[in-house]
Amino acid sequence: MTYSESLGGLKVLITRPEKQSETLASMVRDLGGDAFDFPLLKVDSIKDELRISKLEEKLKKLSSYHKLIFVSKNAVTYGAEVISKNCPNLPTEVDVIAIGSSTAKVASEFFGCEVMHPMSGSVSEDLIALPCLANVKQKRIAIFRGTGGREFLAGSLIDRGAEVEYFEVYERSPTERGGHELLEIISEHDVNVLTITSGDSLRVLNKLFLESGNGSFDLFSIPIIVPSARVSLLAEELGFQKIKLAQGADTRATVSALHEVASEADKSDYNQRGIDLR
């Protein structure tokens, strides 16, 4: 294995929610890199009783929808939990659609059917380009997601004549850990690559850094991997200088982007005395 085929020398900060980082961390380590966890967001099921009640009422009519869209693995995981409780008989005459291949795999295991998904890319812009969503006039479409989030997908489907309903099955909240702890981990382990899975997690990262008040530490010069052009633009606006665009937020896309970072470092001879990408 040549250097550029491995991740040797990369010290990667993984910021995915707890219990969702191990696959990526294991792969980074198996490929010769080092991985360090610092979850920026917490993900949990909906707790508000009124939200739960409204969700349960909508789930009773799930069989009346023509298409079910899951925008993340969390949407499938938490969606499957509430669907199982409220829909003893899963709808069969319905298209199941996922944002990416990893989300599709989880959805397929739950529904026991083929799940459509973009063959490349795993953002809303890729999803809306699927042929199965081209002609949706007068179709009822359920979008399973967390609370809040982008309106692009729903707006695009409504513009095409669809009737869209959100099924918000989980919620996100910022980590309770502080900025000093974040910088301590980055400094102690000489982290030289940051990974981000969403605009929300990037905003939390930036907020923690600013709250730390450490003006002597240059977080913005560390290469950062982002999942979409939209998040890349946000990173640029916040001041990050070395932004690597991955083809989605899933493990495969992130590892591919890490390979590119390693390869670029190799070509620049950063590895002569051990990689220092900052």
Token pair in block for residue 193: 């690559």
Is pLDDT of 36 > 80? yes
Residues in contact with 209: Cβ distance below 8 Å, sequence separation at least 6, in sequence order = 179, 182, 183, 217, 219
Is pLDDT of 2 > 80? no
| Model confidence pLDDT, tens digit, residues 80-110 | 999 999 987 777 789 999 998 889 999 999 8
SS3 call for 112: coil
> Tokens 């007068």 correspond to what residue?
138
Give the pLDDT confidence score for residue 92 in this predicted structure: 75
Amino acid at 143: I
Enter the pTM of the model.
0.84
Instruction: Provide the angle, in degrees to the nearest 10, between the axes of the packed helices 73-86 and 49-59.
Output: 70
Give the pLDDT confidence score for residue 216 in this predicted structure: 67
The Cα 146–Cα 156 span in angstroms is 19
The Cα 245–Cα 225 span in angstroms is 6
Q: Which residue in 113, 110, 118, 71 sits closest to 87, CA to CA?
A: 110
More confident residue, 162 or 265: 162
DSSP per residue, 164-208: EEEEEEEEEEE-S--HHHHHHHHHHTT--EEE--SHHHHHHHHHH
Give the pLDDT confidence score for residue 276 in this predicted structure: 52
